[in-house]
Structure 1
Amino acid sequence: MAGSSFNPELAAGHRDRLRQKYRKAGHDGMLDYEKLELLLTYAIARRDVKPIAKELLKKFGSITAIMNAPEKRLTEVPGVGENVALLIQLMKGLCSDCLYEQIKGREVLSSTEEVIRYARMKLSGLENEVFMVIYLNTQNEIIGDEIMVEGTIDQLYIHPRQLLTRALDMSARGIILLHNHPSGSPVPSPADIQLTRAIKIAASAVRLDVVDHIIIARNACFSITANELIPLDRPFAQSPKKAEKPKEMTPEEKRAAAFSELAKLSAIHDLKDCGEMTRDSDFQIDDRVDSYLKASDRKKKKGRGA
């Protein structure tokens, strides 16, 4: 093309040298922009891709942020088209597959770090809140996972019945709940805590263990069960200790226990009727502190305020 400074012979030589450097120095021997540059050579022909690689790092700040970026934002970078965005998303998907293969079939109490890495790879870069479940067998080994619900940037809706029905279909004995906070803060909202309690009550009725509920943020994770930030080398909440001889309950504790049993019975009854679900019966997860209500209660509150 007239006026173009692109020289095919020089470009071919530079790309070959880049590949040779990767082979000799290995992945850790390359600068971040060089890794991206090498990747881009497989999607962009007849163009100097070094400026594109540097612009990607300038715009997003890190390779992780580039991998997590949606296609629309990637294509805002000059020179990045649909093919490049697809290649980057494919790389992230392959990384997720690799991490999942490392944890599938493993006992979660001995592989916390890998589970957290996998969850962060899946959830940390998403623009909207999503609710993910990891299913465990009787040995606490991972038998599957899925993203059940996708919400908005600061809220989503999930019904415990929907979750437990799926867990029973998977023949799971335990579950790990995970959801992301796109806002970046790992601190649980009142809605997160309330939802965790509701799921635990319903799960206990069908003898399903809720191992933990983890919030995934950009730079941290939070365990609602342990009520603390999670270091990568810390195991999940341990299995319950051997039961001690129960103490005699006070009248208040007896009433609370009776209420809990009623809640369990209600959960079992709810599971027997898994008809179409509506937002009137969904729980809302919301980052805003004062906004948690069941959808049906929210409508009543609006009616009273009218």
Structure 2
Amino acid sequence: MRTIQIIILSFIFCLKVYGQCHFLLHKNIQLAEGFIRFSSLGNLSCINSQQSSFILKKMEQLTLGKIFLSSPAVTLKRSYLINKWRQFYPHIELYLTGHDKIIIRPKIKNFNTSDFTTLIKKRLRDYLQTPKSSKIKVLNPPKNIQLPENDYHLEFDFQKSSSNLVKIKLYIDGKQKKQFFIQFQILYKQFVLVSTKTLERGENLSAQFIIPQEMYISEKSRPLPVQDISRLNQLKLKRRIKKGSILSKIHISYKNIIKTRQKLKGIIKKTNLRIEMEVISLQNGKIGDKIMVLFPLTRKKYLATIINARQVEIDF
């Protein structure tokens, strides 16, 4: 009889112990933006699977506030969680084990500047259909951007892309959170003239310090044509340029290659007719300038365009 009582008591004790559910609390967790649910704070273990499903469902229903993308870390004590559970489910036994405190942070994805810039370039290239040989340069990349692991969306507005401007809107859970205005340039590969040393304003140009080189440049940079390397002696610098800089039309001015009272060959071109005569310049001028010239035999004046240092084409 004594033996039977011991067996029955042992069986009841085992049922009580193995019927218990334990909830092991984590120390640090990251959650997506939204409600903090009791079930997300640890791992539940029960001997009885039906009991486990029942308690897990109750845990899902019990919320402890909300966490946002911009929220600081939230700390919850185990004693608080025990009281919270007993407040809502006083008749359901649950043992909380593990750490005394839980630190909760929003689950975010850090986009560093280079990653975000790469994403912008890809979307721009797909939209603008730029040549493969070209490059896209983002002029004002945003700083590190924090995004949730999921449920975010980037919307690109290309309406002002012709002005090299794109608007990007960030949506989280369907709501607009931020917007960025990004400036960009499209760079094309071509040969340009590059300085091999720093050149000062007013300095005469020489092929010794200017070389042709293939580089990526924007269409607005107005580089000096590579062919002009053959007539650098006719150019001078309007402003200082550093070593390695691209020689642009804004950097140079043409020298006066014709002076007043200089004898020149004047050319008159008509259909199937070419007339050459000696004229005298009445003005200084550069290549492409229009100046007045005098034909000495008749003392008649003409308007002419400078072709080179010895020839002008007379407007007739």
| TM-score normalised by the chain length of structure 1 | 0.26
Q: Which TM-score applies when normalising by structure 2?
A: 0.25
User: 1 or 2, which has the higher strand percentage?
Assistant: 2
